[in-house]
Amino acid sequence: MVESDRPPLETVMGALLDVRTVFDEDSAVISTLREALESDGHSGAVAWVALPDQTGGLVVERVLGQETGGLIRLNVGAGEGMTGRVFERATIHWVDDYFGSPTITHQFDHIIESEHVQRMIAAPLSLDKDILGVLTVGRRSSGPFADKTVSNIENLAQRASFALGIAKRSRDKAAAAALAERRRISEELHDGLSAMLFSIAARTDQLQRRAAAIEIQREIADLQRELVEAGGLVRSLVSQWHGEATADLHAEVQGVVDEFERRTGITSVAVFLGSLPPIDGARVQALSRFVAVALSNVERHTNAHHASVTVASVPTQVTVAVSNDGPAPASLVPGIGLTGAEDRITRLGGSIAVLTEDDVTGFTIRARLPT
């Protein structure tokens, strides 16, 4: 499979709540941008923020200073116009004569003309290596942009990107903490209540064996049946509750790694290369279950001191690799000890492989799953 040189854009969709908060009407970024526009006069400039959509392009989410409604919710493909060009190339760009510029495409000329814009400058909003959107400012007056103006727009975009980073990290930590608490409660319910129900069922079975009266045997049999039904209901509710908590692969994997380190004392870390794409619950459960089983194998079959889980994505695939620094068991082959996890991955079109090197300590178990 040939990987695209361009980073996956659909991964940014999970942070749109953070993006809209940063660019809320009353936010500091929007207030600063509004003040900058008003310094030119109310009709001197127009500005907009465009954010990624699920098609790999952009949609204009916030507009200030517009004279028409043509910019609102406008779809912009990667590479199209000034905004699309900056989104594709991830670098600031400006033109002093918009309609005469050969460096941009011109499919939006009718909208720009209706806004009476003469020149334009756009800067990317970025977090790590991901482009979260584009901030664009158009001036209705002619003439070249001053160096100070270019610097001010670039600084404003950097401030917005920094605010996005804070919001995203806060959201990820909150999601991981919530999932960890759900998992803890689920395990306590399952382990504690299941043991209690099993004990009661065993005791009623002994009573039934001892009871001579038919009516008592029937009553005890009814009680046993109700206990079995209650146990099944509890397991179903716990499974459903836990399944609803696995919509966020980042938080789920982080929770599994944190719990493994806490339980075993093996130094463990989760590494996420780039941003993760939105995937359905079945795939999140399959990958998080693979991580849990693979780490359990590290605990049982190696003398590892360190373990790591690396999650990476390309536009059509997510790869999860579980590595450790312990010696690989001599009999280790793909699928051993991972039958259940491998079945889940295989049913969804993925695969599991064990990677070892003769001259390298440790080994890696890797799962690949199409998105």
pLDDT digits (tens, 9 = 90+) for 318-352: 999 999 888 766 655 444 456 778 888 899 999 98
Q: What is the mean pLDDT of residues 105-123?
A: 94
Mean pLDDT, the chain, rounded, equals 76
- CA atoms within 13 A of residue 95's CA, in its CB half-sphere: 21
Q: Is pLDDT at 238 greater than 80 in this prediction?
A: no
What DSSP assignment string belongs to 229-243? HHHHHHHHHHHHHHH
Looking at residue 127, its pLDDT comes to 76
CATH of domain 10-171: 3.30.450.40
Residue with tokens 């938080």: 251
Looking at residue 327, its pLDDT comes to 75
Distance CA 63, CA 282 (A): 38
Cβ-based neighbours of 283, under 8 Å, separated by 6 or more: 249, 318, 348, 369, 371
Confidence category of residue 151, pLDDT binned at 50, 70, 90: confident
Looking at residue 36, its pLDDT comes to 57
Q: What is the mean pLDDT of residues 253-274?
A: 87
* C-alpha separations of 311 from 3, 116, 182, 323 in Å: 16, 47, 22, 11
Bigger pLDDT: 211 or 197? 197
Looking at residue 121, its pLDDT comes to 93
Q: Judging by beta carbons within 10 Å of its beta carbon (0-12, 13-18, 19+), is residue 12 exposed, middle or buried? A: buried
Q: What is the mean pLDDT of residues 179-186?
A: 69
The mean-pLDDT minimum among 106-115, 128-137, 317-326 falls in 128-137
Q: 15-51 pLDDT, tens per residue?
A: 333 444 445 555 555 566 666 555 544 457 888 888 8
Bigger pLDDT: 71 or 160? 71
Alpha-carbon torsion angle 226, 229, 230, 231, nearest 10: 120
- DSSP H or E stretch at residue 346: helix 339-347
The ranges assigned to domains in the chain are 10-171, 249-371
Task: State phi, psi for 281 to the nearest 5 degrees.
Answer: -60, -35
Q: Which residue stretches of 90-213 are H helix?
A: 109-114, 147-188, 194-210
Q: Which residue stretches of 9-146 are H helix?
A: 16-22, 28-38, 81-89, 109-114
- CA atoms within 13 A of residue 138's CA, in its CB half-sphere: 27
Bigger pLDDT: 118 or 31? 118
Q: Is pLDDT at 9 greater than 60 in this prediction?
A: no
Looking at residue 79, its pLDDT comes to 94
Cβ-based neighbours of 54, under 8 Å, separated by 6 or more: 10, 13
Q: Is pLDDT at 3 greater than 50 in this prediction?
A: no
Looking at residue 87, its pLDDT comes to 94
Task: State phi, psi for 307 to the nearest 5 degrees.
Answer: -140, 150
C-alpha 216 chain-centroid distance? 57
46-50, 56-60, 112-116, 225-229: which is most confident: 112-116
% the chain with pLDDT above 70? 66
| CA end-to-end distance (rounded Å), the chain | 14
Helix/strand/coil percent split, the chain, to 5? 50, 20, 30
Looking at residue 81, its pLDDT comes to 95
Bigger pLDDT: 230 or 287? 287
For the segment(s) 249-371, the CATH number from 3.30.565.10, 3.40.50.720, 3.40.50.1100, 3.20.20.70 is: 3.30.565.10
Q: 64-86 pLDDT, tens per residue?
A: 888 999 998 999 999 999 999 99
Q: What is the mean pLDDT of residues 79-102?
A: 94
118-122, 131-135, 204-208, 322-326: which is most confident: 118-122
